[in-house]
């Protein structure tokens, strides 16, 4: 059960930022005993891998905080974040952590299951993130982009750490995600109704 929550939390984190969960796992595996990666994922703790992930993270952090650029970044990340989610779920669910001392045999014998699960989870979270950003930018004239992006980065870090150290709290993060998804859908529907109303008014008095 805990390995499922670990993988889910890491994949959800990748949906917000592709590089944070991978970098978190790599750093913790390299410098602490909080997580022991499976043999197939030890490359995450390699120094070169960590350096490359750090550079990519820096680029992502900056690009995601600039209006318009953040939208282009989300388009590119539509392919990157789900891939990272698959890798994160696969590595996380098969790792020994401070909570999981014996990862379930189901994930080690059916390796495609965690990868597909991670891809789907990360893609869902990414979809909500990408859909919410235009709403935030429009409502704040673009000034809300860096605030929203910073909150997402912090959320990704917290979710990654909790997934490894205390995976049961991942359930709280998933609850917040569901709430955010509902909020985004309602805001988008409201904007559509307002645009339709504006068009009808112009036609009526035009």
The predicted-structure confidence for 61-110, as pLDDT tens digits, reads as follows: 999 998 888 889 999 999 999 999 999 998 888 887 766 666 665 555 56
State the pLDDT confidence band at 195, using cuts at 50, 70 and 90: low
Report the predicted TM-score, pTM, of the whole model to 2 decimal places.
0.84
pLDDT computed for residue 200 by the predictor: 52
DSSP per-residue letters across the chain = -HHHHHHHHHHHHHHH-SSHHHHHHHHHHHH-SSEE--GGGGGGGSHHHHHHHHHHHHHHHHHTTSTTHHHHHHHHHHHHHHHHHHHHHHHHHTSEESS-SS--HHHHH-THHHHHHHHHHHHHHHHHHHHHHHHHHHHHTTTHHHHHHHHHHHHHHHHHHHHHH-GGGHHHHHHHHHHHHHHHHHHHHHHHHHHHHHHHHHHHH-
């Amino acid at each position: 059960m805990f390995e499922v929550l670990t993988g889910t939390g890491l994949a959800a984190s990748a949906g917000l930022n592709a590089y944070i969960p991978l970098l978190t796992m790599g750093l913790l595996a390299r410098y602490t005993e909080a997580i022991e990666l499976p043999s197939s994922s030890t490359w995450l703790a390699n120094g070169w891998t960590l350096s490359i992930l750090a550079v990519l993270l820096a680029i992502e952090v900056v690009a995601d905080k600039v209006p318009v650029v953040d939208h282009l970044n989300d388009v590119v990340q539509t392919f990157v974040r789900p891939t990272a989610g698959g890798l994160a779920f696969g590595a996380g669910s098969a790792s020994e952590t401070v909570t999981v001392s014996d990862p379930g045999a189901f994930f080690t014998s059916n390796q495609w299951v965690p990868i597909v699960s991670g891809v789907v989870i990360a893609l869902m979270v990414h979809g909500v993130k990408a859909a919410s950003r235009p709403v935030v930018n429009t409502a704040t004239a673009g000034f809300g982009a860096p605030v929203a992006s910073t909150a997402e980065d912090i959320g990704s870090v917290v979710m990654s750490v909790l997934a490894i150290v205390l995976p049961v709290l991942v359930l709280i993060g998933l609850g917040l995600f569901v709430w955010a998804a509902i909020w985004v859908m309602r805001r988008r529907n409201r904007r559509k109704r307002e645009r339709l109303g504006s068009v009808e008014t112009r036609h009526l008095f035009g």
